Amino acid sequence: MQRVASDEQQLIARLNAETAKIGWHELQKHYASGNVLALSPQADLIKVAIALHRDRTEQIQTWLASGDVVQVSDQQALHWYNQASILWALVIPPFVLVQDIIKKEG
């Protein structure tokens, strides 16, 4: 049991280390390939990445149905392009997960 927790902690640490801010313009080829998934602001990027990594189909389908995870629409892609948006991104082959950076007030 401790081994499983350790493996999960290592995966979380690795995914956190691989998460980075990137400009939407740099993601164009991935978007053109249909491999970019956008997460809602309330979705947990690391939890979604783990579900994809572990092939947790039922959980992924739940997020897709709720809209917490969606294929990037042409309209959203154009908005990010025109705004030269910077997003959080994490690669879980063959997908690139992206999420708007939420600026905290205060």
* DSSP-assigned states of every residue in 26-94: GGHHHHHTT-EEEE-TTS-HHHHHHHHHTT-HHHHHHHHHHTSEEEPPHHHHHHHHHHT-EEEEEEETT
- When pLDDT is averaged across residues 23-37 and rounded to a whole number, the result is 96
User: What would the mean pLDDT of 11-26 be, rounded to a whole number?
Assistant: 97
Checking if the pLDDT of 86 tops 80, the result is yes
* Mean pLDDT value across residues 27-35: 95
Annotated domain spans of the chain = 2-100
Q: Express each pLDDT in 93-104 by its tens digit.
A: 999 999 999 876
